[in-house]
């Protein structure tokens, strides 16, 4: 069972982890890549490095990709590498993604979709995916959104994000933590992205500590954003169910199911 956790070092990351690593200005990309490759060799994993400025990483990694020259989606390239890793006898695939703002000209929506794809891939395949962000390159709201969809966190900021959404099992997404007015926008972005890819989104809310009116409004709006969609929240507490009903959202035109 996957569980969210904060890592002290990348050495603690393992198979199936999807790590968001926030790098400071002094962190060196090549040093990080070398250490990552060394660990891959130690465990018998195929190493894939994705990033625009990692040409020299090709000296030591099995696969190096520049996202600007992919000719397709990142997740498709990653899945191909995972398949070839299996054929080539590697234990698994480990991906180090140096996420650069220049590589995502489509904007934060596309980046979030890619991160959710990688999250699903890591959970389903058992691959290790590390997404390294330079904090100074990104605006706060984008960083908050992408941090929320990584169950594992490593970096200069001491605290985990207020809430996390991560893959659990084949059909569900665990939602844990606190979603209030300060996180409602990020939650809405994540949910809209999931609903764009799936007719029904199943959210496992057993670890959801708090969900305020702003978050409920975001949930209602997102569920109506596209036609014929449904959001099922499992593991909700009686306070959330009561507040949802009191807020006027428990109506057929809002395709949300709240279950204990």
Partner 1 sequence: MTLPSHPDTPPSAQTGYRHELYPYTGRDEFLQGTVGFIQEALDDGEAVVVAVPQDKASLLRSEVPEDGTVRFVDTSALAHHPGRLIGAWQEWIREHAAGGRPVRGIGESPWDQVQSQAQAEQLRYHEWLLNKAFADGPAWWLLCPYDTTGDGAALQQLTRCHPQIRTGGRSAPSTDYDPQAPFDFVPLSHPCDPYEEFIYTNGDLPALREKISACAEQLGLADRRLRELHLAATEIATNSIRHGGGHGTLRTWHEDQRMVCEFRDSGFIADPLAGRHRPTSTQVGGRGLWLVHQLCDLVEIRSTPDTGTTIRLHTQLTG
Binding site for partner 1 (CB under 8 A): 162, 178, 180-182, 210, 212-214, 216-217, 220, 237-239, 242-243, 246-249, 251, 253-254
Report, in Å, the least distance between residue 142 CB and partner 1. 18
CB of 156 or CB of 197, closer to partner 1 = 156
Report, in Å, the least distance between residue 188 CB and partner 1. 14
The answer to whether the CB of 155 falls within 8 A of the CB of 22 is yes
> Cβ atoms within 10 A of the Cβ of 238, count?
8
Report, in Å, the least distance between residue 259 CB and partner 1. 17
Report, in Å, the least distance between residue 214 CB and partner 1. 7
CA-CA distance, 48 to 64, in Å (whole number)? 6
Report, in Å, the least distance between residue 18 CB and partner 1. 24
How are strands ordered across the β-sheet holding 18-23? 5-6, 152-155, 18-23, 128-134, 93-99, 46-50, 63-65
**Torsions phi, psi for 255 (to 5 deg):** -80, 65
> Cβ atoms within 10 A of the Cβ of 255, count?
19
**Torsions phi, psi for 67 (to 5 deg):** -60, -25
Report, in Å, the least distance between residue 150 CB and partner 1. 20
CB of 30 or CB of 259, closer to partner 1 = 259
**Torsions phi, psi for 189 (to 5 deg):** -65, -45
CB of 6 or CB of 237, closer to partner 1 = 237
CB of 19 or CB of 216, closer to partner 1 = 216
CB of 147 or CB of 167, closer to partner 1 = 147
Q: Two tokens at 128?
A: 């290790």
CB of 200 or CB of 237, closer to partner 1 = 237
Q: Two tokens at 42?
A: 């130690």
CA-CA distance, 18 to 130, in Å (whole number)? 6
Residue 217: partners with Cβ closer than 8 Å, 6 or more residues away: 184, 247
């Amino acid at each position: 069972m996957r569980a969210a956790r904060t890592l002290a070092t990348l050495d603690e990351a393992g198979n199936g982890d999807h790590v968001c690593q926030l790098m400071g200005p002094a962190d060196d990309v090549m040093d990080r890549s070398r250490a990552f490759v060394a660990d891959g060799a130690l465990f018998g994993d195929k190493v894939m490095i994705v990033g625009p400025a990692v040409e020299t990483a090709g000296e030591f990694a099995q696969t190096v990709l520049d996202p600007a020259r992919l000719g397709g989606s990142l997740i498709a390239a990653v899945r191909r590498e995972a398949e070839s890793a299996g054929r080539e006898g590697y234990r698994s695939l480990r991906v180090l993604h140096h996420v650069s703002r220049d590589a995502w000209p489509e904007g934060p929506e596309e980046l979030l979709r890619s991160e959710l794809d990688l999250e699903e891939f890591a959970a389903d395949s058992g691959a290790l995916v590390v997404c390294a962000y330079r904090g100074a390159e990104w605006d706060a709201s984008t960083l908050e959104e992408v941090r929320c969809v990584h169950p594992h966190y490593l970096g200069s900021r001491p605290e985990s994000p207020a809430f996390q959404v991560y893959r659990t099992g084949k059909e569900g997404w665990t939602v844990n933590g606190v979603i209030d007015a300060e996180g409602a926008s990020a939650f809405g972005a994540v949910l809209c992205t999931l609903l764009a890819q799936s007719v029904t989104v199943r959210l496992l809310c057993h670890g959801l500590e708090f969900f305020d009116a702003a978050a409920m409004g975001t949930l209602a709006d997102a569920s109506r954003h596209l036609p014929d969609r449904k959001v099922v929240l499992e593991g909700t507490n009686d306070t959330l169910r009561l507040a949802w009903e009191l807020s006027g959202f428990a109506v057929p035109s809002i395709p949300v199911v709240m279950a204990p």
